[in-house]
Amino acid sequence: MSFRTLMALAAEYDLELDQMDAINAFVNCPLEEEEVVFMKMPPGFERRGKVLRLRKALYGLRRSPLLWQQHLTASLEKIGFKTVPQEPCVMMKGAVIVFFYVDDIIWAYRKRDQQVATEAISGLQQRYKMSILGEPKWFLGIRILRHRPSRTIWLTQDAYIDKIAHKYVPDKLGIKPPSTPMATNEELVSEPIQARDQDKHSYLQKSPD
C-alpha cells in the first residue's frame, strides 16, 4: 500500500523518482552481544571441533530484515529524516520522501528539493555500498510505466502473469491457454480426502490473491 500511495503522489505532483539498491545490506548490521548465533565453517576452512560465531547479520537469519530496517532508519535519522507515523518504512525530510523495502530504496522529491535529496543519497552512499538505478522501472516484480505529460503512472505485473502462464501452460506443448481458469462444463463432486500440501501450494500459486 505504501508503494502504491507513493507512486500515486509522484504521478499527481510530478515528483522526481530515484531508485537505489543496498548491496549486501544485511552484513552492515552487527548482532547484539547477547544474541549468540553459531554456524558451521564454510567448505575448505573446516577445523575439527570448531564452529564460527556470527558477528553480523546474514541472509537467511530470521532477524536480519528487522536489524537492517533499524540500522537504515538510524542512518536516515542522523541526516535529518523522520519516520512517517504508522509507516516504519517511509521517512521524510521536509518534502523529500524515502521509501524502502528491505534493500530496495526509492526517493521521491520535487525538482526544487533536488539538492536535499542529492545530499541525502550521498550520505547513504558514504555509509553503505549502493547501486544507483536511476528512475525506477521495476520494483518488487512490478513494472513501472510513466507518462509525465499526463501525470500518469501505470503499475503492471505482466511479467509475473507471463511467468505463471508459462509454468502451467508450457509453450513447448503447443497448448493454447484457456480463456477461463477451469472448464465450465465440469461437474463438481465433493471429495472427502484431504488435499496434499503440495496440491494446496500449487492451487494457491494459481490464485490471483
pLDDT in tens, 55-77: 899 888 888 999 999 999 999 99
Q: How confident is the prediction for the chain on average, in pLDDT?
A: 85
- As to burial, measured by CB atoms within 10 angstroms (0-12 exposed, 13-18 middle, 19+ buried), residue 76 is buried
Which three three-digit cell numbers place residue 209?
490473491
For residues 191-201, average pLDDT: 67
In CATH, what class is 2-156?
alpha beta
CA 80, CA 71: separation in Å to the nearest integer? 15
What is the average pLDDT across 149-165?
A: 85
User: Is the model's pLDDT at 114 over the cut of 60?
Assistant: yes
194 pLDDT above the threshold of 70: no
Helices 114-127, 64-78: axis angle to 10 degrees equals 130
pTM across the whole model = 0.73
| pLDDT at position 115 over 60 | yes
Which of 40-64 are b and which e, b meaning 16 or more Cβ less than 10 Å from the residue's Cβ?
eeeeeeeeeeeeeeeeebeeebeeb
Q: How many CB atoms lie within 10 A of CB 106?
A: 23
The contacts of residue 65 (CB under 8 Å, 6+ apart) are 26, 102
Residue 180's pLDDT is what?
63
Map out the domains of the chain as residue ranges. Answer: 2-156
